[in-house]
Amino acid sequence: MLRDRIRHKSLLDRVITADQAAAMIRDGMTVGMSGFTRAGEAKAVPLALAERARTDPLKITLITGASLGNDLDRTLAEAHVTARRMPFQSDPGLRKLINAGEVMFIDQHLSETVEQLRTGQLPPVDIAVIEAVAILDHGGIVPTTSVGNSASFAILADKVIVELNMSQPTTLEGLHDIFIPQRRPSRMPIPVVTADSRIGLPYIPVPPEKIAGIVISEKHDSFANVDKPDDDTRAIAGHLTDFLLNEVHKGRMGYDLQPLQAGIGTIANAVLHGFIDAPFHDLKMYSEVLQDSTFELLDSGKLTFASGSSITLSSEMNAHILPRLAEYKHHLILRPQEISNHPEVIRRLGLICINTALEFDIYGNVNSTHVGGTHMMNGIGGSGDFARNAYMSIFVTKSTAKKGTISSVVPMVSHVDHTEHDVDILITEKGLADLRGLAPRERAEVIIRNCVHEGYRDALADYFDRARARGGQTPHVIEEALSWHVALRERGTMMPG
């Protein structure tokens, strides 16, 4: 059985325990671990590391692709192992320690991390811990349900620990497309010209002598919590569909649209689910995370191909897809995140990018990360990679949060992730604001008219009237611009009165 998975014979004697692998990680090291949106993370070694820290405290810089599953981010942070963390997380326990200032979190565009590692702008990765489904006869590593930054970690690190996950199906082999861009400034174009372009190898090329240990694990990926579409997300999907149909009717695109990218989270997933009932066909995705909705669209025949960096599914969808993965293989690719999120490729393919905002302001600046302007939610993830380079950059959110006490449309966002220059379309359940070709004063009018909850609309219109009276390209009553957030902090609600 093990020989089926470790095909390079001389590596068979490198099987070690998770504790032995964890012992290779020393205080102060930078560790690159696999894992992207709770998929394909190394599972046994991080747990052993947290356990070891009880008697032998150590601190590391932990770099991954994106978020880890199986509560690993919480476990490592609470064991005080994680001193610095980048480039993304979504764990409530780690979030708490980040916001308490105990863990230094570097919130980074997901396409950029390995560019900075490769050029020595970040400290080098001392050791890579990569989950794999097999090690090939030449030593190449076949990742599992995500690629993320794993390939570059393995290539750049001094040592590689492979976690061979026997519970991951070998049908994953052949799904991955590993391509590492050349060094700059003489880099050749990245030859992805359609969503389904295969440009690399189906494994991570690593010299076998770099594999310092192989740990056997059986643990599954954790499942995504997918909220079913509700009235609000159905309304958002409806506005988006009507808008895109109108673009088709105007002759700007065909019924196959442009390749789609959809961000993480329940809202983006539900919005994509809405495409099942829309009249589009032959759709393609060039995205980052392939969620339940991707497979629902593939099953419905609406979507013909999906490119991503990870597969993150609910337990029901996982039970449906994994045994039948071979049937989907011709419709899927998993790429390194610097390729799935590469500005060059995103601009070339002309993606329709749908990401989620926590809040946006009357001019279209978007906050996706900081609650109340200060407290980290998850991180910017790939949303900036996509929004800045999109054919059409769309942000969706419900018009209110926390039982209506928070308006998602505010005079001025309390933190900016996506400036007005990177935002074309805003959608809430109330309606859609098409901001293309509009100046800030025009943007404010259409946003207030179409996107704001009725409980906040008059107050926002009044703010804008008074701001406009003061003049400016982007008018504000500057001393009042964050007063809605102040009210939330002091009174527990943004609701006027």
Q: Catalytic residues, which ones?
A: 288
HSE, side-chain direction, 13 A CA sphere, residue 322:
18
Instruction: Answer left, alpha or beta for residue 71, where phi above 0 means left and psi between -120 and 50 means alpha.
Output: left
Strands (E), 23-87: 30-33, 60-63, 82-86
Rounded to whole angstroms, how far apart are CA atoms 396 and 472? 28
Residue type, 196: D
Nearest-5° angle of CA 123, CA 44, CA 164? 90
Residue 383 touching ligand COA (CB under 6 A): yes
- Residue 53 in tokens: 């820290």
- Of 359, 420, 424, 434, which lies in the binding site for ligand COA, with binding defined by CB under 6 A? 359
Residue 289 touching ligand COA (CB under 6 A): yes
Residue 134 touching ligand COA (CB under 6 A): no
- Of 240, 267, 362, 435, which lies in the binding site for ligand COA, with binding defined by CB under 6 A? 267
Residue 296 touching ligand COA (CB under 6 A): no
Rounded to whole angstroms, how far apart are CA atoms 477 and 470? 8
3-state class (DSSP) for residue 168? coil
Compare residues 117 and 406 and give the one whose CB is closer to ligand COA. Answer: 406
In angstroms, give the least distance from the CB of 247 to ligand COA: 22
In angstroms, give the least distance from the CB of 396 to ligand COA: 8
Choose the binding region for ligand COA from 134-142, 195-203, 209-217, 380-388 (rule: CB under 6 A): 380-388
Rounded to whole angstroms, how far apart are CA atoms 16 and 212? 9
- Of 264, 322, 332, 447, which lies in the binding site for ligand COA, with binding defined by CB under 6 A? 264
- Asked whether 494 and 487 are in contact (CB, 8 A), the reply is yes
Within its chain, how far is the Cα of 290 from the centroid? 10
Q: Could you give phi then psi for residue 124, rounded to 5 degrees?
A: -65, 155
Choose the binding region for ligand COA from 163-171, 245-253, 401-409, 435-443 (rule: CB under 6 A): 401-409
Rounded to whole angstroms, how far apart are CA atoms 258 and 94? 37
Choose the binding region for ligand COA from 120-128, 165-173, 264-272, 308-316 (rule: CB under 6 A): 264-272
In angstroms, give the least distance from the CB of 25 to ligand COA: 28
Q: How many residues lie near ligand COA (CB under 6 A)? A: 24
- Of 32, 35, 259, 382, which lies in the binding site for ligand COA, with binding defined by CB under 6 A? 382
Report the 10 Å Cβ neighbour count for 61: 20
Rounded to whole angstroms, how far apart are CA atoms 95 and 67? 11
- Of 402, 470, 489, 491, which lies in the binding site for ligand COA, with binding defined by CB under 6 A? 402
Residue 258 touching ligand COA (CB under 6 A): no
In angstroms, give the least distance from the CB of 291 to ligand COA: 9
Residue 248 touching ligand COA (CB under 6 A): no
Give how far Cα 209 sits from Cα of 34, 118, 124, Å. Answer: 20, 21, 19
- Of 180, 408, 422, 453, which lies in the binding site for ligand COA, with binding defined by CB under 6 A? 408
H or E stretch at 225? none
Residue 356 touching ligand COA (CB under 6 A): yes
Question: Among candidates 409, 390, 412, which has minimal Cα distance to 401?
Answer: 409
Residue 401 touching ligand COA (CB under 6 A): yes
- Of 406, 413, 432, 448, which lies in the binding site for ligand COA, with binding defined by CB under 6 A? 406
Compare residues 15 and 487 and give the one whose CB is closer to ligand COA. Answer: 487
- Residue 251 CB partners (closer than 8 Å, separation 6+): none
Residue 371 touching ligand COA (CB under 6 A): yes
- Of 377, 461, 481, 487, which lies in the binding site for ligand COA, with binding defined by CB under 6 A? 377
Site residues for ligand COA per CB under 6 A:
263-267, 288-289, 355-356, 358-359, 368, 371, 377-378, 380-383, 398, 401-402, 406, 408
